Amino acid sequence: MDTVLPRLGRALAALRDRLAARRQGLLKAGRVAAVVLAGLGGGWLGLVVGGQVLTPVGPADVSLSVGPSWDGETVVDVAPLGTLAFDTHSAPLRFEASIDEIRLAAAEEMFENPEAIDRMGRTIVGEVKAGVIRLMAQSAAAAALGAGLVGLALFRSWRRAGLSAATALAAFAAAGGAAAATFNPSAIAEPRYSGLLAGAPQVVGSAEAVVSRFDQYREQLASLVGNVSRLYEVTSTLPVYEGDESTVRVLHVSDIHLNPASWNVISSIQEQFQVDLIVDSGDLTDRGSAAEDAFADEIADLEVPYVWVRGNHDSMGTQRAVEAQPNAVVLDGRAEEVGGIVFYGAGDPRFTPDKTAANPGAEELRRIGEGQAAEAAAEEPPVDVAVLHDPAQAEGFDGRVPLVLSGHGHRRWTELTESGTRYLVQGSTGGAGLRGLEGGVDRPKPYEASVLYIDTETKRLQAWDDITLGGLGLTSAQIERHIEEEPDRELVPPSPTPSPPVGPTPSATPSREADSPAGTP
């Protein structure tokens, strides 16, 4: 017994010492983990604040940024066209580049002097490399500083703050080294498009011309910068229309036909032109089915009033889905003031996807429109803009309202009638959906929309910009501004005798007749 007790005491003491040592080890590991977490978190905050630089690339000032990401990629923002994403590396870093400003004098010189493009091709890679080097150096400093400040705030210790800064710097250096080691120049030949030009590899040049060495890719890179610069340069040379606080900007879209890329187009135009409200003259969907109702949910993300009328491809279920959006204004035989403008709208009485329905013919459609025009003429305050899907339904509004907005034919045209009514018929803002492929890939349907400038005091159209963006496989972008010569013209009441159908002359503008074989665009 005398020997057992001392042995037991020594065993307990050894166990106590081991537990104490383990506790000390856990505490030390916890402190190390806290320092590492502070370094990583503070480094991330530092990158958010200081991980971007502005660098000249050709005629543009390009904003470069870097940040943590699970997917290592490089993203080029070519607004208003969309974005291009490249799987260029495997490190957890995301590099972004976007056009901040185009120096118009330099851009004009580049377009007027063919040798300027060659000079840019020779210098652009060096400019990009210089910007990337400056970005990495500044980002490393920002990450270390952010981590050091966070560590100092948490631990009240300069030593631990320094260790946190060192952790952030080491992590960033490791990620940057991994990005450099895994960089894949051939990824530039396989970009992912989102936004307007999905499926248009021409925006970065021919895939066959892309070679494996990045320093030999300067011609394609110069082409990309040149294309985007041209877009900005074109918009700066449009005929001048100076709006003021009494001008409301209305985006007119039509015939989206269930094309999800249309929302990118609409959102981009809305932001670029600072649109106050959107008018959609129908055919949001293709078959008006319940499965398509969710497509209308994108309307809420636009965050401006969305005036809509039913097209011949939209069902009453589609109409209810649009009505459910908080910013939607659905017009179906009624008038409503939106943004200081009184709109009257009515849905298309046909539903052509249902082949069993007794849809009215062209003449009956015109008679229905005549009755709706008479109702609109009795509105107080008077109607400023009428919105009907089919121009045939809108013929009765001639001489009754200053402006009529329509769609249906997937071709844009306009006419100012002798009665003083301006008809603006929109093309397809969805590239006609799947119908855009009917002409073959060599002649795809473009995306079309217009920005209207309306004086809220006179309630009259002052000017409008017709925007045409290349459809599937195209990279073209065109903006045409039109000034209304007599915005305050008087309307002439309709004559009691039937007038010729409203529409463009064959020599100047396309027919409003249906494009599809079934006669139902």
Domains of the chain, residue spans: 30-231, 244-483
Instruction: Number of helices (H) and strands (E) in the chain: give both, helices first.
Output: 8, 19
pLDDT above 50 for 482: yes
Q: What percent of the chain has pLDDT over 90?
A: 31
Q: Residue 20, Cβ neighbours under 10 Å: how many?
A: 10
List pLDDT tens digits, range 55-71: 877 767 778 888 887 77
- How large is the average pLDDT for residues 186-198? 51
Q: How far is CA 407 from CA 50, 57, 254, 313, 444, in A?
A: 48, 41, 6, 12, 18
Paired residues of 98 in beta bridges: 63, 77
Q: Return the pLDDT at 202.
A: 35
pLDDT category at 180 given cuts 50, 70, 90 is confident
Higher pLDDT, 204 or 499: 499
Contact between residue 191 and residue 78 where contact means Cβ atoms under 8 Å apart: no
Q: Residue 324, Cβ neighbours under 10 Å: how many?
A: 14
Q: Return the pLDDT at 337.
A: 96
Both structure tokens of 92? 């957890």
- With residue 460 as reference, give the H or E element that holds it: strand 460-469
- Amino acid (1-letter code) at residue 15: L
Paired residues of 68 in beta bridges: 93
Report the C-alpha gap between 421 and 404 in whole angstroms.
Answer: 7
Chain centroid to Cα 95, Å, comes to 20
Strands 73-77, 93-102: pairing kind = parallel
pLDDT above 90 for 402: yes
pLDDT above 50 for 515: no
- How large is the average pLDDT for residues 305-327? 96
Strands 403-406, 422-425: pairing kind = parallel
- How large is the average pLDDT for residues 505-518? 34
Q: Return the pLDDT at 36.
A: 80
- With residue 39 as reference, give the H or E element that holds it: helix 4-50
Q: Residue 72, Cβ neighbours under 10 Å: how many?
A: 20
Higher pLDDT, 361 or 345: 345
Q: Return the pLDDT at 509.
A: 32
Q: Residue 496, Cβ neighbours under 10 Å: how many?
A: 5
Strands 334-338, 341-346: pairing kind = antiparallel
Report the C-alpha gap between 519 and 140 in whole angstroms.
Answer: 62
pLDDT above 50 for 154: yes
Chain centroid to Cα 26, Å, comes to 51
Report the C-alpha gap between 95 and 65 in whole angstroms.
Answer: 6
DSSP conformation class of 319? H
- With residue 357 as reference, give the H or E element that holds it: none
Q: Residue 308, Cβ neighbours under 10 Å: how many?
A: 28
Higher pLDDT, 446 or 284: 284
Paired residues of 93 in beta bridges: 68
Angle between the N-to-C axes of helices 158-181 and 114-155, in degrees from 0 to 180, rounded to the nearest 10: 150
Q: Return the pLDDT at 436.
A: 54
Q: How many CA atoms lie within 13 A of 31 on its CB side?
A: 11
Q: How far is CA 71 from CA 39, 129, 143, 321, in A?
A: 21, 22, 20, 36
Q: Which residues contact 308 (CB under 8 A, 6 or more apart)?
A: 279, 280, 282, 284, 299, 322, 328, 329, 330, 331, 345
Q: How far is CA 453 from CA 149, 223, 385, in A?
A: 51, 34, 13
pLDDT category at 243 given cuts 50, 70, 90 is low
- How large is the average pLDDT for residues 317-344? 96
pLDDT category at 299 given cuts 50, 70, 90 is very high
Contact between residue 398 and residue 494 where contact means Cβ atoms under 8 Å apart: yes
Reference 406, options 419, 395, 417, 418; nearest CA is 395
Using a 10 angstrom Cβ sphere, with 0-12 exposed, 13-18 middle and 19 or more buried, the burial of residue 239 is: exposed
Q: Return the pLDDT at 270.
A: 87
Q: Return the pLDDT at 390.
A: 96
Q: Return the pLDDT at 248.
A: 93
Residue that the structure tokens 């463009």 belong to: 504
Both structure tokens of 190? 């396989």
Which segment of 25-29, 135-139, 203-207 scores lowest on mean pLDDT? 203-207
Strands 334-338, 403-406: pairing kind = unpaired
Q: Return the pLDDT at 215.
A: 38
Report whether CATH 3.60.21.10 matches the domain 244-483: yes
Contact between residue 442 and residue 460 where contact means Cβ atoms under 8 Å apart: no
List pLDDT tens digits, range 444-464: 678 899 999 999 889 999 988
Q: Return the pLDDT at 274.
A: 84
Report the C-alpha gap between 140 and 46 in whole angstroms.
Answer: 9
Report the C-alpha gap between 186 and 209 in whole angstroms.
Answer: 11
Higher pLDDT, 327 or 132: 327
Average predicted confidence (pLDDT) for the chain: 77
Q: Return the pLDDT at 238.
A: 56
Q: Return the pLDDT at 201.
A: 31
Strands 385-388, 328-330: pairing kind = unpaired
Q: Return the pLDDT at 499.
A: 46
pLDDT above 80 for 204: no
Q: Return the pLDDT at 218.
A: 40
Q: Return the pLDDT at 397.
A: 96
pLDDT category at 194 given cuts 50, 70, 90 is low
Contact between residue 351 and residue 343 where contact means Cβ atoms under 8 Å apart: no
Q: How far is CA 358 from CA 192, 343, 350, 351, in A?
A: 45, 29, 8, 9
Q: Return the pLDDT at 428.
A: 92
pLDDT above 70 for 120: no
Beta sheet of 277-280, edge-to-edge order: 328-330, 306-308, 277-280, 247-253, 447-455, 460-469, 477-483
pLDDT above 50 for 158: yes
Chain centroid to Cα 389, Å, comes to 25
Report the C-alpha gap between 455 and 34 in whole angstroms.
Answer: 61
Q: Return the pLDDT at 84.
A: 64
Q: Return the pLDDT at 184.
A: 77
List pLDDT tens digits, range 359-396: 898 899 999 999 999 999 999 999 999 999 999 999 99
pLDDT category at 152 given cuts 50, 70, 90 is confident
User: Where is mean pLDDT largest: 58-62, 88-92, 183-187, 286-290?
Assistant: 286-290
pLDDT category at 309 given cuts 50, 70, 90 is very high
- With residue 135 as reference, give the H or E element that holds it: helix 114-155
- With residue 53 as reference, give the H or E element that holds it: strand 52-57
List pLDDT tens digits, range 93-115: 888 887 776 666 666 665 566 56
